[in-house]
Amino acid sequence: MVRPLDVLVCVKRVPAVGAEILLTADARAIDTRHLGFTIGPHEECAVEEAVRLVERAGGTAGVLTVGPPEADEQLRYALSMGADHAVRVHAPVADPDPEATAAAITSALRELPPYDLVLFGEASADAGHAQVGFRVACALRRPVVGGVKGIEVDADRVRLRREAPEGAEVHEAPLPAVAAVLEGLNLPRYPTIRGRLRAKKAVVRVVEAPQPVGGLRTLRLRHRSEAHAETIVLGRGAAAAPAVADVLAELGVVR
Amino acid sequence: MVLTVVERDGEGRLTAESAEVLAAARDLAEELGVPVAAVAVGETGDLPEDLAKQGVAQVHLLQHELLADGGPACTGEALAGLVADLRPTAVLAADSDRSTEAMAWAAARVGVPLATACTAIRPGSGDDEWEVTRERSGGILLEDAVLDAPIRFATLRPGAPSPSETAAADEVTVHVVVPELDAAVPRARLVDRQPRAAGMTLATAPVVVAGGRGVGSAEGYAVLEELAGLIGGAVGCSRVATNNGWRPHSDQVGLTGTRISPDLYVACGISGATQHWVGCMNARAILAINTDPEAPMVTRATWAVIGDVHEVLPAVVEELRRRSGR
Ligand SMILES: Cc1cc2nc3c(=O)[nH]c(=O)nc-3n(C[C@H](O)[C@H](O)[C@H](O)COP(=O)(O)OP(=O)(O)OC[C@H]3O[C@@H](n4cnc5c(N)ncnc54)[C@H](O)[C@@H]3O)c2cc1C
Ligand SMILES: Nc1ncnc2c1ncn2[C@@H]1O[C@H](COP(=O)(O)O)[C@@H](O)[C@H]1O
C-alpha cells in the first residue's frame, strides 16, 4: 500500500577539499578561503532517496541543516535536486560538535510538523563523528538503522537494507523512523536548470534552537605524516610495458 | 574500570579488532590503576577462554531476547544501562559500524560525548579532561581534541601500535546481565540475512587495478579486467567512474567507498584526490598510470608510467601474455 510520506534529510555544509588540504593559522580548521563547499556523498544519496520516495508515494521531501547563513547554499542545492522545502537551524559556528548538532536537530524536529522518515548520512564528510543520526533517534525514541543501502516503505513500516560482516541484512521498523545512509544507495541526479531556478526562488525557513556545547572540543588539526619515497618513472606510453612487466614479475603477482 | 565492548566473529571467537581494543584498554587501565572488564552480547561460548588470553578477568554478558535481532541501537540501550550501573572510567570499542552505532546510542542515552575513529587516548591533567587523537576527513587529517566527560566513550581505529604482551588471566568471571528493555518502545528488527557470496572482494584482494576518469567509459574497463585477471587482482574505481555509471558503487575505492590495503594498487587515470587517496594509502606499493606527471597519485606512487591508459594498458597486457606464452 502506498501512502504519502513526509521525509526529512539532514545535510551539512563541508569544504570541498582537493588533493592538498591547507589549515588555518591556528590549525583549528581547514583554510577554506580558496575552497568551494558541498554536502557529503552519503547525504547527497539521502536527498536523492527522499526525492524518489516522495515521487513514488506522494508527500514532501524536506532538507535541514544546522549552520550559518552560508549553509543556505547547500540547502538550495538539495532543493535543486527536487527537495520541496528547506529549514536552517541557525548556528553561529560552521562545525558544531556532534552533541550540539544533535540537540539542535532534535529540538527543531520537536517544533516542525512530524516526519515519517528522517534521513542522515552515515558520517559527515569532514568531521566524520558517525553519531548525529543515532543521537537524534535516541533522544526522540525512534527506531534507527545505520549503514543503509536500500529503503522500502510499505504502509506504516520501512524495510532497511544494510551490509554486515555476516552478509546483507534487512531490518524492519515502524514509522516514524530514522536511517543513516551510505553512498551507493542510489545514483544521485544532477540538478536540472528548472530545478536550479526553483531553488533560487525558494524561501529557506530559519529556526532557532538551543545548542548546548558538548564535551568534544577540537584543539588542533594536523596532517598525518606521510613519507613518500621518490616515484620511479618506468617510462612513457606503450614503450613502458616491458618495464611494467618486469616490476609485476618482481612482485610475484603475475599468474 | 575500563569497560571494553568486544565482538565475536562467525565462529564465536574474539575478533582481531576487539583484541586490539583490549590491548589499548590494558595500557590505559594500567596507567590509571584500574581493571579492564569486557562486555559482549549473547552466550558465554569461548569468550572466557579468549578473554583470559588477553588478561581480562571480568566479562559482562548482555542477554535479552530483544538483543537477538534488535541491532546496534538495542545493544546501545543495554550498554547504557550497564554503564549507569558500573560507572566505568572509560568505555572503549572498536571502530566497526556495529560498535560505533551502539556506542553512539549509549553515549546519547548516558548524556556524554563520544570520540569516534580515535588513534590515541590519553588521560589528561584536568579531572574530567582527557585528550584524544582522532581521524578526520577519512584519516588524511588528525584531530587532537579534549574529551571532557565523567565517563569517556571512545571508538578506536585499527592499526594501533602492536598490542603489548600480557599475562593471561587465571580465571574469567562471567556476569550475566539482563538489561531492562521496554518491549513497548518502537525498534528496528533484523528480519532477514543473506550470507555473503564467497570469492575475492575488493577489500581483501592482494592486487587492485582501479580506473578513474581517464578510463573514459564503461567499455574502457575491459582492459583493466583483463590485466586484473592476469595478475590475480580485483577491479576498483574512483567516484567519477561510479557517478558516471561506468562501475557499480561496490567497486569504489575511497572515503565513501572501500578502504583497501593490497600489496599492489594500480591506479589508471586517477588523479589522487584526498578522498580517493585515503582509500588506497595503505597499499604496500602503487603503480600510477596517468597522462599528467604532476598528478598527486603519480607523485605519491612507487612507480609511474606517464601516458594514456588506452595505450599503456593494452601494451602491458600484451607484454604479459607474450612472456607467459598465452
Ligand atoms: C566527501 C567526499 C567524499 C568522496 N569520496 C570519494 C571516494 O570514496 N572515492 C573517490 O574516488 N572519490 C571520492 N570523492 C571524489 C574525489 O574528490 C574526486 O573527485 C575523485 O576521486 C576524482 O576521480 P578521478 O581521479 O577519477 O578523476 P579526476 O580527478 O578528474 O582525475 C582524472 C585523472 O586522470 C588523468 N587522465 C585523464 N585522461 C587520461 C588518460 N587518457 N590516460 C591516463 N590518465 C588520464 C588526469 O590527468 C587526472 O589525473 C569524494 C569527494 C567528496 C567531496
Ligand atoms: N551541521 C549539521 N546539520 C545538519 N545535519 C548534520 C550536521 N552535521 C551532521 N549532520 C548529519 O549527521 C550525519 C552524521 O554526522 P556526523 O555524526 O558528524 O558524522 C551527517 O551525514 C548529516 O546527515
Last residue within a domain, chosen from B155, B177, B199: B177
- Domain assignment present for residue B77? The answer is yes
Check whether residue B134 and residue B7 sit in a common domain: yes
Task: State how many domains chain B has.
Answer: 2
Q: Residues B238-258: pLDDT tens digits?
A: 999 999 999 999 999 999 999
Question: Measured from the CB, is residue B258 less than 6 Å from ligand 1?
Answer: no
Q: How far apart are CA A10 and CA A61, in angstroms?
A: 11
Identity of the residue in B145, B186, B249 whose CB atom sits nearest the CB atom of A218: B145
Mean pLDDT over each residue of chain B, to the nearest integer:
94
Check whether residue B160 and residue B258 sit in a common domain: no
Task: Decide the pairing of beta strands B90-94 and B152-156.
Answer: parallel
- Domain assignment present for residue B186? The answer is no
- Domain assignment present for residue A151? The answer is yes
Chains A, B: CB pairs < 8 Å: 283
> Does B162 belong to an annotated binding site?
no
- Domain assignment present for residue A181? The answer is yes
At B245, list the grid cell: 555509471
pLDDT at position B168 is 87
Res B164 pLDDT > 80: no
Categorize the per-residue pLDDT at B191 as very low, low, confident or very high, splitting at 50, 70 and 90: very high
Check whether residue B280 and residue B145 sit in a common domain: no
The CATH number assigned to the domain holding A201 equals: 3.40.50.620
Check whether residue B117 and residue B242 sit in a common domain: no
B144–A172 C-beta distance less than 8 A: no
B194–A168 C-beta distance less than 8 A: yes
Of the candidates B140, B254, B273, the one whose C-alpha atom is nearest the C-alpha of residue B202 is B254
pLDDT at position A134 is 98
Q: How far apart are CA B99 and CA B73, in angstroms?
A: 10
- Domain assignment present for residue B244? The answer is yes
- Give the ligand whose atoms come closest to the C-alpha of residue B293: 1
Sheet holding B303-306, edge to edge: A232-236, B303-306, B285-290, B264-268, B207-211, B234-237
Check whether residue B306 and residue B171 sit in a common domain: no
Q: Please, is B233 exposed, middle or buried when counting C-beta atoms within 10 Å of its C-beta (0-12, 13-18, 19+)? A: buried
Identity of the residue in A144, A188, A224 whose CB atom sits nearest the CB atom of B142: A224
Check whether residue B6 and residue B93 sit in a common domain: yes
Query: Residue range B8-31: average pLDDT?
Result: 94
B209, B213, B237, B311: residue to mutate for ligand 1 pocket, most atoms within 8 A of CB: B213
Instruction: Kindly report the nearest CA distance between residue A130 and chain B, in angstroms.
Output: 7
- Domain assignment present for residue B290? The answer is yes
Q: Residues A10-35: pLDDT tens digits?
A: 999 999 998 889 999 999 999 999 99
Query: Residue range A104-115: average pLDDT?
Result: 96
pLDDT at position B199 is 77
Check whether residue B291 and residue B162 sit in a common domain: no
A160–B250 C-beta distance less than 8 A: no
Question: Measured from the CB, is residue B261 less than 6 Å from ligand 1?
Answer: no
pLDDT at position B186 is 95
B230–A170 C-beta distance less than 8 A: no
Of the candidates B73, B187, B76, the one whose C-alpha atom is nearest the C-alpha of residue A175 is B187
Res A172 pLDDT > 90: yes
Q: How far apart are CA B297 and CA B282, in angstroms?
A: 13
The CATH number assigned to the domain holding B259 equals: 3.40.50.1220
Q: Are A63 and A96 in contact (CB under 8 A)?
A: no
Cα(A44) to ligand 1 centroid in Å equals 18
Check whether residue B103 and residue B49 sit in a common domain: yes
Task: State how many domains chain A has.
Answer: 1
Q: Are B230 and B201 in contact (CB under 8 A)?
A: no
In the chain, the amino acid numbered B36 is V
Last residue within a domain, chosen from B177, B195, B218: B177
The label of the residue with cell 526562488 reads A201
- Domain assignment present for residue A235? The answer is no
pLDDT at position A18 is 84
pLDDT at position B196 is 82
A187–B137 C-beta distance less than 8 A: no
Q: Which residue lies with its CA nearest to atom 48 of ligand 1?
A: B271
Check whether residue B108 and residue B213 sit in a common domain: no
- Domain assignment present for residue A254? The answer is no
- Domain assignment present for residue A42? The answer is yes
User: Which residues does residue A64 pair with via DSSP β-bridges, in sequence order?
Assistant: A10, A87
Last residue within a domain, chosen from B158, B177, B196: B177
- Give the ligand whose atoms come closest to the C-alpha of residue B220: 1
At B143, list the grid cell: 584531530
pLDDT at position A92 is 82
> A11-20, A46-55, B99-108, B288-297: which range is least confident on average?
A11-20
B188–A231 C-beta distance less than 8 A: no
pLDDT at position B163 is 62
> Does B254 belong to an annotated binding site?
yes
pLDDT at position B5 is 98
- Domain assignment present for residue A43? The answer is yes
Q: How far apart are CA B278 and CA B210, in angstroms?
A: 14
In the chain, the amino acid numbered A149 is K
Identity of the residue in B185, B232, B288 whose CB atom sits nearest the CB atom of A141: B185
> Does B212 belong to an annotated binding site?
no
The CATH number assigned to the domain holding B173 equals: 3.40.50.620
Res A60 pLDDT > 80: yes
Cα(A132) to ligand 2 centroid in Å equals 6
Share of chain A above pLDDT 70, in %: 100
Q: How far apart are CA B109 and CA B78, in angstroms?
A: 10
Q: In which domain, by residue range, is A179 found?
A: 5-208
Res A223 pLDDT > 80: yes
Res B165 pLDDT > 80: no
pLDDT at position A1 is 59
Q: In which domain, by residue range, is B16 found?
A: 2-177
Check whether residue B79 and residue B217 sit in a common domain: no
Task: Kindly give the number of the ligand 1 atom that is closest to the alpha carbon of B212.
Answer: 26
Res B293 pLDDT > 70: yes
User: Which residues does residue A192 pair with via DSSP β-bridges, in sequence order?
Assistant: none
Res B162 pLDDT > 70: no
